[in-house]
Homo-oligomer: A and B are copies of this chain.
Amino acid sequence: MAHNIAILGASGYTGAELVRLIATHPNMRITAMGANSKAGQAMADVFPHLRHLDLPVLQKIEEIDFSGVDLCFCALPHATSQEVIRDLPKTLKIVDLSADFRLRDPAEYKRWYGNGHAALECQAEAVYGLTEFYRDEIRAARLVAGTGCNAATGQYALRPLIAEGVIDLDDIILDLKCAVSGAGRSLKENLLHAELSEGYHAYSVGGVHRHLGEFDQEFSAIAGRPVKVQFTPHLIPANRGILATVYVKGDAARIHEVLARAYADEPFLQVLPFGQHPSTRHIRGSNFCHLGVVADRREGRAIVIAALDNLTKGSSGQALQNANLMLGEDETTGLMLAPCFP
């Protein structure tokens, strides 16, 4: 029997991506879609690529009847999300795609996001949504906090290495190359095609990107001591994809072995043969993450490279994977779409 699904924030890219994926999910039915600024419009007017689907009209969130809803995806902006979720029925299963419930320590939340938290009682029950590492907690959770897309990419490259102690924890550098859809459908000058196409640049340089809050929280927890990575994202003229080039100190062959073993049974995490490395074009539009390890010419140094689609495995695909777990579905249902290349 199909689960009834609500999507809040349906007029953004992650909302649309959820609809795209659920469109071929055999056991989910979208029964309500919230988008305050576009309430009253048909989804086909906001996202014409979804016009073949029979979808509910966009509504104001406060007008949605959640009584028959089994699970609600919240693809709302940061800070808004916590206020909305606070007021949703307490029995409703929720997968949140915002940053609002990712950081367990309210002080850290305030430090990275600037504002106090409006729903600390919800945060207390939230489970961090990196599926492969929190599977059991997610299965039992009422509220799952989707990870940052950059944070997911970096963690797939590093968590097993930190856990197994095969790299130097004080010299980890993540150089990320991010496609533009990660910035959402927001009207900013630097996101215009004429600005971005044919050029690229770093941003949030120097350790100020908010996803560092997630890296610090997770890596320190695994290591049992503070771990502070360096992380520089770059904006690349492409629509989908994150490529993380991670510079670590450790034995490359051992690092590859640890990663390959850690992900051997994971349906979406594919570790390439030692010495090979991935490209974003080969995961585009899919829920797969490809990982590679190469030894540097300097002994004791390795490069780990991870690639995933920020809208799929980095947010909406991850969210659906978690929702599957929460609803008792097979984790991969609706997510086995092959990447779209070329």
Contacts and interface: CB of A to CB of B under 8 A. Distances in A.
Copies held by the complex: 4
Interface in A81-115: none
A96 B318 CA distance: 38
Interface in A196-227: 196-202, 205-208, 212
B295 A206 contact: yes
A106 to B, nearest CB: 21
A323 interface: no
Contacts of A338: 19-20, 23-24, 49-50, 52-53
Contact of A191 (B194, B198, B281): B194
Greatest chain B CB density within 10 A among A198, A206, A305 is at A198
A192 B340 CA distance: 17
Contacts of A342: 13, 181, 194-195, 197, 239-240, 311
Interface residues of A, number: 86
A238 interface: yes
Contacts of A16: 341
Contacts of A212: 297
Contacts of A301: 230
A200 B247 CA distance: 18
Contact of A206 (B23, B202, B283, B296): B296
Contact of A175 (B24, B241, B245): B245
Contacts of A192: 180, 185, 187, 191-193
Interface of A: 13, 16, 19-20, 23-24, 47-53, 171, 173, 175, 177, 180-181, 183, 185, 187-189, 191-202, 205-208, 212, 228, 230, 232, 234, 236-241, 243, 245, 247, 267, 270, 275, 277-286, 288, 290, 294-298, 301, 303, 305, 307, 311, 336-342
11 contacts: A20-B338, A49-B282, A50-B339, A173-B173, A187-B188, A197-B239, A201-B277, A201-B278, A202-B277, A205-B277, A205-B305
Given A20-B341, A195-B281, A200-B281, 19 more contacts: A20-B339, A49-B340, A52-B267, A177-B234, A180-B193, A183-B194, A185-B194, A191-B194, A193-B196, A193-B197, A198-B284, A202-B305, A207-B296, A212-B297, A228-B297, A228-B298, A232-B303, A234-B245, A236-B236
